Amino acid sequence: MILKYFEIKKIKLNKNKLILFHGKNEGFKSQSIKELLKDKKKIFSYEEKEVLENKENFKEMIFNKSLFETEKIVIIKRATEKLFKFIDEIKDKNLEDINLIINSENLEKKSKLRLLFEKDKDCISIAFYPDNSQTLSKLAYEFFLKKNISISQSNINLIINRCNEDREKLINELEKIELFSLSGKKLNSENISILTNISENQSISELIDNCLAKNEKRTIHILNENNFNSEDCILITRIFLIKAKKILILSSEFEKNKNIELTISKAKPPIFWKEKEITKQQIYKWKPENIKKLIYKIHNLELDIKRNVFNSVNLISNFLIEQCSPNTSN
């Protein structure tokens, strides 16, 4: 069954066990999956390659019922046409306690995988096409309306242009602007231009890399060197979260193969040569179980920052200093 992206609330997880999200709008897909699963705790993610190389183990995992599990959400990422036969094999089996969400990039109209989901009344297929200035303008307008923030259409257009029509960047910037508005400062084009200076803030990236590598002196030096403000704090937590999740994957891989060079060379997306050395340091410093705890702490930190806007710089600074300390358990 085909649904439009704005009909996502029609999905009933207790009935629609197989769901396909396809299209090139990764930001919108991620946002929609997050919204759909916001109250779910048991979520397992796999790459298509992992599933196809271990079909029987994967089947056993999804169909094996546990006394302690009432539901299981499984996401298969970067799915292609290769997955069709496998999904066709399992779609009529008992999926009572399982939801299988397939996340695919671009599937042609003639795609067997896409047609399988579109023609079955109990399956769901939703296409996520690239955003344009109109769809993003609507998103921003509704965000500001919901938050009761007064802003002109010209300034909304400015924000969208500064984000290069990228939905994920736009959402991050809207949340930064919301924090700025809570401080009582005037929201004008000059402030928006400063707030949305997304030159992939090199100092923030370097700050977090050194924190994760436990380079205490360098971390404190970057903190002192940069005049970070409350609007930067959400961006810092978001970049921290992205990098921590990347280290979790690499650390888990390293724990399996005990070969740092192999771990680095197999990384996807590939690690830029300039970042390889510090990434190795991070892998050595963090075991998977501890990076998972860190990810949980980062989520809580973001909530604390949103609740304590005026103290956000102190909160983020103290957190970074604590995590970069060699004495902090990892």
CATH code, domain with 91: 3.40.50.300
The verdict on 26 and 102 lying in the same domain is: yes
Let me know whether 189 and 260 are in one domain.
Answer: no
SS3 21: strand
Angle at 160 between CA 156 and CA 162, to 5 degrees: 115
> Contact, 199 vs 270, CB < 8 A?
no
pLDDT for position 330: 59
The verdict on residue 330 lying in a domain is no
Cα–Cα distance for residue pair 258/234, rounded to 1 Å: 35
Amino acid (one-letter) located at 293: K
Structure confidence at residue 271 (pLDDT): 82
**Residues 165 and 206 reside in one and the same domain:** no
Task: Note the pLDDT of residue 66.
Answer: 62
**First-to-last CA distance in the chain?**
47
- 1 vs 9: CA distance, rounded Å: 14
Amino acid at site 256: K
46, 83 contact by CB (below 8 A): no
- Asked if residue 91 lies in contact with residue 120, where contact means CB atoms within 8 angstroms, the answer is yes
Give me 202's structure tokens.
Answer: 């090199």
Give the span between the Cα atoms of 145 and 158, in whole angstroms. 17
Give how many domains the chain has, as a whole number. Answer: 3
Domain that holds residue 6: 2-127
* DSSP secondary structure code for residue 229 in this structure: -
**What CATH number did the domain enclosing 221 receive?**
1.20.272.10
Please check whether residue 329 lies inside any domain of the structure. Answer: no
Q: Based on the fold, state whether residues 49 and 31 are members of the same structural domain.
A: yes
User: Do 39 and 145 sit in the same domain of this protein?
Assistant: no
Q: What's the pLDDT at 329? A: 62
Specify whether 117 is located in the same domain as 143: no
User: Residue 21 in contact with residue 159, Cβ under 8 Å?
Assistant: no
Tell me the average confidence (pLDDT) per consecutive run of 10 residues in the chain, 330 residues long: 88 88 87 85 84 87 66 87 91 80 90 93 90 90 91 90 80 82 77 66 83 94 82 84 91 93 85 87 94 94 89 93 81
Do both 213 and 294 map to the same domain? yes
- What are the CA-CA distances from residue 313 to residues 193, 230, 232, 240, 318 (Å)? 21, 6, 8, 15, 8
H or E stretch including 22? Answer: strand 18-22
In this structure, is residue 260 part of a structural domain?
Answer: yes
Q: Are 179 and 230 in contact (CB under 8 A)?
A: yes
**8 and 99 both lie in a single domain:** yes
DSSP category for residue 272: P
Q: At 33, list the tokens.
A: 């999956």
Are 254 and 263 spatial neighbours (Cβ–Cβ below 8 Å)?
yes
* Domain identity same for 35 and 62: yes
CB-based contact 45:77 (threshold 8 Å): yes
The edge-to-edge listing of strands for the beta sheet with 124-127 is 2-3, 124-127, 18-22, 98-104, 72-79, 43-47
Return the pLDDT at 200.
43
In a domain, 318, yes or no: yes
What are the backbone dihedrals phi and psi of residue 290, each rounded to the nearest 5 degrees, phi first? Answer: -85, -30
